[in-house]
Structure 1
């Protein structure tokens, strides 16, 4: 691939930019059509206003965020959307726009804003169609593998959730439940919230702070943006992560839960993240508790507690300690572990692979769509990483 083949065009010659449409939340009717705002899919409606898939660009607010939609959808007026690619490869255009820096073209005041008539005149360099296809295939293969891994993780999670519920239903009698406080008092469980840091304590080298935004459903994706200096490690005490900790978000977005896996670096928990640390002789394993936090028994008790304030949802440590968990028999816990521990290992392996693939994709993307690396060289790098 030679950059001498690339064309210099205006953005408006590459794609047809259209502005999205109003659809207030009170006008939406429950359905399966994605409603796409500036930051991505934000809801659902019963009918599309765009009859095909396409690409959206955040116009107001989350300016420049690019989202690909593969089905009929409703783009809101906070977006610009593209369904006409003027003969260019849609997949390449998606990656090209993902890499494009719209920041210098902000025409807003207090709120970031993109003006369609302004940005359509931006000069860009685009490779021939055959090169576009080749670039999109390299990046798409990585994304396809990432998506396949995500589906596998979701399937394994659903199976273990169902198996956990099966065990719970089988042993769920009043005598088989204990409060978390009872588990703490018997020495089976340690519970705590995070470390309240002062700005003066921030610094590197230090421990990264694990915040609510870093906790997903079943796993963490640390941002590594803020650190507490190692000089204060002694003050952090038990609030430093340990392998096997089950963590729960308790403020704002309540109920995201994950397990600290082997090989992860140490973190210090933020105050909105609670940890649950089980002893080796506990009648409840970390994995069993992880799925308890996702299950009906937990939410039937916690659902009404988290919205008791007029402010953001919040689940206090005091309330959490009062919750009752079904304690399985040793035989049932062994059966659960025999079935679900290997699945958890598969999920962890898939997440590790996805981390590697994501870093590789994000490294190759800007180089490929700007012609700084040849497709053949990128293919070789991907093969070596496989």
Structure 2
């Protein structure tokens, strides 16, 4: 089944966001989306930055429910639909804001872009030899299939049912993660752990606890350098800096690199390994839960593996707390692009409780982590089902 096609400039309004220029920008500080905040199908709203916007700029650079936000550079075409996740959200120049006319259902258009973008249909429009871009004038010529509005709405409702399930799971995961973090803070930051009434505190630390550098309680190393001319072996998926968010691993559009047999142990991941960004936003970290077997990691990441007498769940929450509270910032190097070198990370000191309390913490958060893993697995299955349906619905193979 074929539907009439129209260029995007005829069926939607679209524009680029505001240029970040601290010397020229005026007005009130407001949060904004940058390229890094837009994933395939959702937004990463942690650690948002702010920019000054004048009153006259609010409509031009503001987002409304149903706007499609698309990356202009980096991974051009990557997009998500804005559903008022936060009030007064603006967007930066590295992003296109696409606002469909009445002839298009906004969810249908989003799924159309999701299908075309992931299938690589935008690639011929990209400019740039190394860093790819999707300029506004090229985006304007993208042809959109426009079926009758009832069909658009039906396609959108079928696909959005899967995304609603994924979003519900994500909200539940966030609540569970928050519960685990609150427990860590209660026990090990505010020192209201079981039996704290009878503990003796010396220099702010209970007697029997120790302060140890990371090098004494974990092994860690950087991943493999990506070099297509030198790398040999079998192609395997790997995690890069962009895949590691705060407490979350993003598994969309994984890339592959060649690894030799002798490199597999050095650069592979196991359940409980902690991945921490070395650059970009140093200290950002997440725990690997064996979501995909045979996963490797790239040089922009530290792999931190707990020693035998150290529980990996306690170690993750300790490092996550240190990173989120800004305690690692003093270790960063670089004036513009920040880095967290291995030798600096080795000296990070953590307060380690006695073994029985660490084990009690692990027993409390273990079931929480199991629930999170189950919800993540269900979300991946829903996403896979949606992605199988997506091209068939968009090509008219399935009658709606």
**TM-score over 0.5 for the pair:** yes
Separation in 1 of the partners of 2:219 and 2:36?
42
Q: CA contact under 8 A between 1:38 and 1:78: conserved in structure 2?
A: no
Q: Structure 1 295/87 Cα, relative in aligned 2: closer, same or farther at 3 Å?
A: same
Q: Please tell me whether residue 213 in structure 1 is matched to residue 242 in structure 2.
A: yes
Following superposition of structure 1 onto structure 2, how do residues 176-325 of structure 1 map, counting pairs within 5 Å?
176-180=209-213, 183-184=216-217, 189-195=218-224, 199=228, 202-205=231-234, 207-222=236-251, 223-230=254-261, 232-233=262-263, 237-262=265-290, 264-280=292-308, 282=309, 284-296=310-322, 299=325, 301-306=327-332, 308-310=333-335, 312-325=337-350
Larger Rg: 1
Counterpart in the other structure of 1:173: 205
Q: CA contact under 8 A between 2:8 and 2:142: conserved in structure 1?
A: yes
Separation in 1 of the partners of 2:395 and 2:180?
44
Q: CA contact under 8 A between 1:164 and 1:291: conserved in structure 2?
A: yes
Q: CA contact under 8 A between 2:72 and 2:95: conserved in structure 1?
A: yes
Name the TM-score, length of structure 2 as normaliser: 0.75
Counterpart in the other structure of 1:52: 64
Separation in 2 of the partners of 1:365 and 1:94?
11
Separation in 2 of the partners of 1:285 and 1:182?
15
Structure 1 unpaired stretches of 5+: 376-386
Following superposition of structure 1 onto structure 2, how do residues 356-371 of structure 1 map, counting pairs within 5 Å?
356-371=381-396
Q: Structure 1 62/8 Cα, relative in aligned 2: closer, same or farther at 3 Å?
A: same
Aligned-partner SS, 1:83? strand
Identify the structure with the greater helix proportion. 1
Separation in 2 of the partners of 1:163 and 1:290?
13
Separation in 2 of the partners of 1:248 and 1:333?
22
Aligned-partner SS, 1:88? coil
Displacement of 1:162 in angstroms is: 1.3
Displacement of 1:367 in angstroms is: 2.1
Displacement of 1:289 in angstroms is: 0.8
Separation in 2 of the partners of 1:254 and 1:310?
13
Q: State the Cα deviation string for residues 136-175 of structure 1 (Å, max 9, x = none).
A: 0111111111111222222211111111111113176075
Q: CA contact under 8 A between 1:201 and 1:228: conserved in structure 2?
A: no
Q: CA contact under 8 A between 2:238 and 2:295: conserved in structure 1?
A: yes
Counterpart in the other structure of 2:199: none
Separation in 2 of the partners of 1:24 and 1:197?
31
Counterpart in the other structure of 1:17: 13
Q: Please tell me whether residue 31 in structure 1 is matched to residue 51 in structure 2.
A: no
Following superposition of structure 1 onto structure 2, how do residues 135-150 of structure 1 map, counting pairs within 5 Å?
135-150=155-170
Counterpart in the other structure of 1:97: 113
Q: Structure 1 229/339 Cα, relative in aligned 2: closer, same or farther at 3 Å?
A: same
Q: CA contact under 8 A between 1:38 and 1:63: conserved in structure 2?
A: no
Displacement of 1:178 in angstroms is: 2.2
Separation in 2 of the partners of 1:105 and 1:300?
41
Displacement of 1:260 in angstroms is: 2.7
The count of residues paired between Structure 1 and Structure 2 equals 359
When structure 1 is superposed on structure 2, of 96-105 and 249-258 the one drifting more is 96-105
Displacement of 1:113 in angstroms is: 4.4
Q: CA contact under 8 A between 1:292 and 1:298: conserved in structure 2?
A: no
Separation in 1 of the partners of 2:93 and 2:223?
40
When structure 1 is superposed on structure 2, of 190-199 and 237-246 the one drifting more is 190-199
Displacement of 1:130 in angstroms is: 1.3
Separation in 2 of the partners of 1:197 and 1:23?
31
Q: Structure 1 36/369 Cα, relative in aligned 2: closer, same or farther at 3 Å?
A: farther
Q: CA contact under 8 A between 2:236 and 2:256: conserved in structure 1?
A: no
Counterpart in the other structure of 1:383: none
Q: Structure 1 99/200 Cα, relative in aligned 2: closer, same or farther at 3 Å?
A: closer
Structure 2 unpaired stretches of 5+: 194-203
Displacement of 1:363 in angstroms is: 2.6
Q: Please tell me whether residue 348 in structure 1 is matched to residue 382 in structure 2.
A: no
Equivalent of residue 155 in structure 1, options 169, 175, 182: 175
Separation in 1 of the partners of 2:303 and 2:139?
47
Displacement of 1:286 in angstroms is: 0.4
Following superposition of structure 1 onto structure 2, how do residues 119-134 of structure 1 map, counting pairs within 5 Å?
120=140, 123-134=143-154
Displacement of 1:340 in angstroms is: 1.0
